[in-house]
């Protein structure tokens, strides 16, 4: 990849992580303390447990990102699926701590870092591959949060994307603008 493409990749990754963070926050904001702790069944995780896992993963993967293994010795992954938060505010504090760690690491990456090898559980991968790995992992869990929030709120859930029945209107507005190179998250609230 060229230097310019490397910069575009890093910028795009930051925009995608920001987009999924906002989706998660938009869903969580619609829920009460009790609702974020609710488990659909014993085999499933509550939203609070999903957030615990995301935060734990982010702190482990992105702390000293370029210099230490992404699976830190201090991480207790099993507890992420067993120990919930006392309330929604505690959960959101952990959420912010994880995302802050991720964004601090991403913003420090230089284009020449993308081909460097880093390790997660002693398995080497390029920095670019590690970013892509988390771009697959985190949206997977954000989707779980969205699904549960919609199931809990039902018709009261406020859409975080194109509301049902509005696709034609949304597309008509998009196709009225001139073709231009841009990221799909540009202009989103």
Show me where the domains of the chain are located.
3-158
- Write out pLDDT tens, residues 33-85: 999 999 999 999 999 999 999 999 999 999 999 999 999 999 999 888 988 88
The pLDDT assigned to 154 comes to 96
The pLDDT assigned to 1 comes to 55
Query: Is-contact 94 51, C-beta < 8 A?
Result: yes
The pLDDT assigned to 162 comes to 84
The pLDDT assigned to 119 comes to 97
Cross-strand pairs, 124: 119
The pLDDT assigned to 117 comes to 98
Can you list the residues of the chain whose pLDDT is less than 50? none
The pLDDT assigned to 177 comes to 87
CATH superfamily of 3-158: dinb family like domain (1.20.120.450)
The pLDDT assigned to 3 comes to 83
Element (H, E) at 125: strand 123-126
Residue closest to 161 by CA, chosen among 189, 122, 142, 186: 189
What is the full DSSP assignment across 50-91? HHHHHHHHHHHHHTTTTTS-SS-TT--HHHHTT---SSHHHH
Angle between helices 127-153 and 47-62 (to 10 degrees): 170
CA–CA distance, 114 with 13 (Å, rounded to integer)? 12
The pLDDT assigned to 108 comes to 96
pTM of the model: 0.93
What is the full DSSP assignment across 171-182? HHHHHTSPP---
CA angle 65, 138, 188 (to 5 degrees): 105
């Amino acid at each position: 990849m060229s230097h310019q493409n490397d910069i575009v990749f890093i910028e795009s990754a930051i925009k995608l992580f920001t987009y999924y963070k906002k989706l998660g926050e938009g869903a969580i904001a619609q829920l009460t303390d009790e609702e974020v702790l609710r488990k659909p069944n014993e085999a499933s995780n509550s939203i609070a447990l999903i957030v615990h896992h995301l935060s734990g993963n982010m702190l482990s993967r992105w702390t000293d990102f370029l210099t230490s293994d992404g699976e830190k010795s201090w991480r207790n992954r099993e507890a992420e699926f067993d120990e919930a938060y006392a309330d929604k505010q505690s959960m959101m504090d952990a959420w912010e701590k994880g995302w802050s760690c991720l964004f601090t690491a991403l913003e420090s990456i230089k284009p020449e870092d993308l081909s460097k090898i880093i390790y997660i559980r002693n398995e080497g991968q390029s920095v670019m591959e590690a970013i892509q790995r988390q771009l697959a992992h985190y949206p997977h869990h954000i989707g779980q949060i969205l699904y549960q929030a919609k199931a809990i709120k039902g018709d009261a859930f406020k859409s975080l994307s194109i509301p049902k029945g509005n696709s034609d209107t949304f597309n008509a507005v998009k196709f009225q603008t001139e073709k231009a190179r841009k990221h799909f998250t540009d202009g989103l609230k």
